[in-house]
């Protein structure tokens, strides 16, 4: 079964981990790059790294970074009085130095990601949604902020009243992205933040077109009991004017979906085929279970 998974960070990464454990699944993960930014001069790609680290079984416990990483460089950096809010562990720094070195040499992000995934022998194809410059920006009462300014530096406490994707108009789908969606028996939208993590992917014209033609598109709701498990998805949907709960998730995806998967007894959205299961993925076993449910 060919599966194309559209993914943000943690939720998508955990579902990718599940799919990649299934023998009969040929998995391509199309990952959001709207969160990418230069931090400390380094080209960070938080969602790509979370997907890779999680699939390699070495993700950090807080939803970012690497397992049991050390923070010596951050410690030395704080001696200078630098802002170390954006924490990069020593091993995680190496990934970012590697990516930045190659980007500055003109190597496309897709090729860099391929090399990183190959280093960890991942059983899937990991694709950035685009090799072009697409950046998510959010509007708050203090004006427009870059994604990392909003998410990490201001800890996503601001109310989001607008969202835009700088560079989306001129961004082309990354290599193999459209082919993967075209070939997929099943396109899955991961339980990621719809406006912040999935919209950046959907705003690339070539991808939107491919999804409209896709055989079957299934979204897994990121809400459980109407709340986001992690991050501000419920608050962002509400402040952007969507309905509460899974109804809002369905609205955020418009007419893209064939099916939505919601957690056991949660309210179903109207006008869509709904499937119910345990959507929580606290560990690898749960990820595999949910992935198997989606394939079946």
Indicate whether 70 belongs to the interface with its own copies (CB under 8 A).
yes
Q: Nearer to its own copies by C-beta: 119 or 170?
A: 119
Question: Shortest approach of its own copies to residue 40 CB, angstroms?
Answer: 4
Q: Are 88 and 69 in contact (CB under 8 A)?
A: no
Of 1, 26, 40, 146, the one binding its own copies by CB under 8 A: 40
Q: Nearer to its own copies by C-beta: 107 or 214?
A: 107
Q: Which of 64, 117, 115, 121 lies closest to 93, judged by CA?
A: 64
Question: Shortest approach of its own copies to residue 72 CB, angstroms?
Answer: 5
Residue written as tokens 């410059």?
133
Q: Nearer to its own copies by C-beta: 75 or 215?
A: 75
Taking CB under 8 A as the binding criterion, the range among 51-59, 76-84, 198-206, 247-255 that sits at the site for its own copies is: 76-84
Site for its own copies in 94-123 (CB under 8 A): 94-95, 97-98, 100-101, 103-104, 115-116, 119
Question: Shortest approach of its own copies to residue 68 CB, angstroms?
Answer: 12
Indicate whether 33 belongs to the interface with its own copies (CB under 8 A).
no
Taking CB under 8 A as the binding criterion, the range among 33-41, 141-149, 174-182, 270-278 that sits at the site for its own copies is: 33-41
Of 57, 68, 82, 216, the one binding its own copies by CB under 8 A: 82
Of 68, 72, 169, 270, the one binding its own copies by CB under 8 A: 72
Indicate whether 143 belongs to the interface with its own copies (CB under 8 A).
no
Q: Are 210 and 181 in contact (CB under 8 A)?
A: yes
Six-digit token string for 62? 């807080």
Q: Are 56 and 62 in contact (CB under 8 A)?
A: no
Indicate whether 79 belongs to the interface with its own copies (CB under 8 A).
yes
Q: Nearer to its own copies by C-beta: 42 or 252?
A: 42
Indicate whether 85 belongs to the interface with its own copies (CB under 8 A).
no
How far lies 173's CA from each of 78, 178, 181, 208, in Å?
Answer: 39, 7, 11, 10
Indicate whether 90 belongs to the interface with its own copies (CB under 8 A).
yes
- Pairing of β 259-263 and β 273-277: parallel
Other Cβ atoms closer than 10 A to 143: 9
The binding site for its own copies (CB under 8 A) comprises: 38-43, 70, 72-77, 79-83, 90-91, 93-95, 97-98, 100-101, 103-104, 115-116, 119
């Amino acid at each position: 079964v060919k599966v194309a998974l559209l993914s943000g960070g943690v939720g998508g990464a955990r579902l990718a981990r599940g799919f990649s454990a299934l023998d009969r699944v040929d998995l391509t993960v199309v990952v959001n790059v709207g969160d990418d930014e230069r931090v400390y001069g380094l080209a960070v790609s938080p969602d790509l790294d979370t997907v890779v680290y999680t699939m390699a079984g070495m993700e950090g416990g807080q939803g970012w970074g690497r397992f049991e990483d050390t923070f010596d460089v951050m410690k030395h950096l704080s001696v200078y009085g630098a802002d170390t809010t954006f924490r990069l562990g020593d091993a995680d720094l190496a990934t970012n130095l590697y990516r930045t070195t190659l980007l500055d040499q003109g190597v496309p992000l897709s090729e860099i990601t391929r090399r990183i995934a190959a280093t960890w022998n991942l059983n899937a194809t990991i694709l950035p949604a685009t090799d072009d410059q697409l950046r998510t920006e959010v509007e708050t009462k203090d004006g427009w902020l870059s994604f990392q300014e909003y998410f990490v530096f201001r800890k996503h406490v601001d109310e989001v009243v607008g969202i835009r994707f700088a560079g989306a108009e001129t961004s082309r789908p990354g290599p193999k992205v459209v082919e993967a969606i075209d070939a997929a028996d099943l396109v899955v939208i991961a339980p990621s933040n719809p406006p912040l993590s999935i919209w950046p992917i959907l705003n690339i014209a070539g991808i939107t077109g491919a999804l409209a033609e896709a055989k079957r598109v299934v979204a897994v709701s990121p809400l459980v009991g109407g709340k986001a498990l992690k991050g501000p998805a419920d608050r962002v949907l509400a402040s952007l004017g969507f309905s509460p709960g899974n109804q809002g998730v369905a609205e955020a995806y418009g007419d893209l979906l064939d099916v939505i998967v919601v957690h056991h007894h949660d309210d179903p959205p109207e006008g869509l085929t709904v499937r119910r299961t345990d959507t929580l993925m606290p560990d690898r076993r749960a990820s595999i279970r949910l992935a198997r449910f989606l394939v079946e």
